[in-house]
Amino acid sequence: MNDLLLTTALIFALSAPTFAAGNHSGGHGESQPAMETTLLVGMPGDPAKVTRTITVTMRETDDGKMLFDPQSLEIARGETVRFNVINDGALEHEFVIDTKMGNAEHKEIMARMDMEHDDPNSVRLDQGMSGEVIWTFSNAGTFEFACLIPGHYEAGMHGPIAVGDQMAQAEVEYATGTIKKIDAKAGKVTIIHGPLTSLDMPAMTMVFRADKATIANMSEGQEIEFVADRVNGKLTVTQLK
Ligand SMILES: [Cu+2]
């Protein structure tokens, strides 16, 4: 919990200058180097570190709606996602990722003056075109993807991005250990383990919780690679190799 508060405080501290600068330029940053863009929603991703590709299509419907497909996104904190964005519609559309408030501010500016986004957190596409956004979601929270071309947001072009506060698979580090004792009935297992980097714990022997399925794959004396995390305050084996 303390870590979370600290992280949150740090995020706000880091974000403040960026938002201040964004207000000056209207946030469209034509003259800013792309890599300086650090938003609450994250930062431009390194193409070499992409962990997942998500295809997002944009289109209009016969009854006058405008849609993204999928309509919501779930991402793990730390993931670098390549959004493969396809404009399947007959109109121009854009895909922008930001906080809900950030999108609302941009939308207001665009209502007065339709300017073209050229930020790393967005891509604007003519009909039939495709493009990409590579983004690292470094912070947990609920963010938003949207098309901010006047009228499009209201026609349905927005959806939530839930960034879960758990590390992406690529960042998970397996620890090594030897199973000393199993108490299947109590759902406990004693492991002589190496350092648990993610929990900031040195090598020692500890009792962990584990679910039935995990314990079924364990035997005393077995050498394992595993991931432990706090689940409801108890150290728990969450993954086993
Ligand atoms: Cu649109």
Using the structure block, give the residue that is written with the tokens 């992406």.
Answer: 168
Instruction: Give which of 51, 58, 61, 59 is closest to 96, Cα–Cα.
Output: 58
When pLDDT is averaged across residues 32-49 and rounded to a whole number, the result is 75
Ligand 1 centroid, distance to 186 Cα (angstroms): 55
The pLDDT of 189-211, averaged and rounded, is 90
Residue with tokens 């992280």: 7
pLDDT category of residue 168 using cuts at 50, 70 and 90: low
Q: What phi-psi label fits residue 93: left (phi over 0), alpha (psi between -120 and 50 degrees) or beta?
A: beta
Q: Are 140 and 62 in contact (CB under 8 A)?
A: no
What is the per-residue pLDDT for 171?
60
- Ligand 1 centroid, distance to 200 Cα (angstroms): 46
Of 158, 163, 105, 99, which is closest to residue 136 (Cα–Cα)? 163
How many Å lie between the centroid of ligand 1 and the Cα of residue 92? 6
For 59-118, how does the pLDDT look when each residue is reduced to its tens digit (9 = 90+)? Answer: 999 999 999 999 999 999 999 999 999 999 999 999 999 999 999 999 998 888 867 767
- Predicted pLDDT at 10: 43
Give whole-number Cα distances, 156 to 162, 168, 171, in Å.
18, 30, 35
Task: Count the neighbouring beta carbons within 10 Å of the beta carbon of residue 37.
Answer: 18
Q: How far apart are CA 143 and CA 135, in angstroms?
A: 13
Q: How far is the CA of 11 from the centre of ligand 1 (A)?
A: 30
What pLDDT does residue 169 have?
55
Q: What is the pLDDT of residues 109-128, one digit of tens each?
A: 888 886 776 789 999 999 99
Q: Please report the pLDDT score of residue 29 as a whole number.
A: 42
CA of 172 to the centre of ligand 1 (A): 37
Ligand 1 centre distance from Cα of residue 153 (Å): 7
Task: Output the CA 233–ligand 1 centroid distance in Å.
Answer: 45
| Mean confidence (pLDDT) of the chain | 83
What would you report as the CA-atom Rg of the chain, rounded to the nearest whole angstrom? 22
Residue 233 has what pLDDT? 80
Distance 59 CA to ligand 1 centre (A): 8
Is the per-residue pLDDT at 170 higher than 90?
no
- Ligand 1 centroid, distance to 150 Cα (angstroms): 8
- CA nearest neighbour of 119 among 88, 91, 94: 94
Q: Which domains does the chain have, with CATH numbers?
A: 36-166 (2.60.40.420), 172-240 (2.40.50.320)
The stretch 50-67 carries a mean pLDDT of: 95
Cα gap 136→104, rounded to integer Å = 22
pLDDT at 20 over 80: no
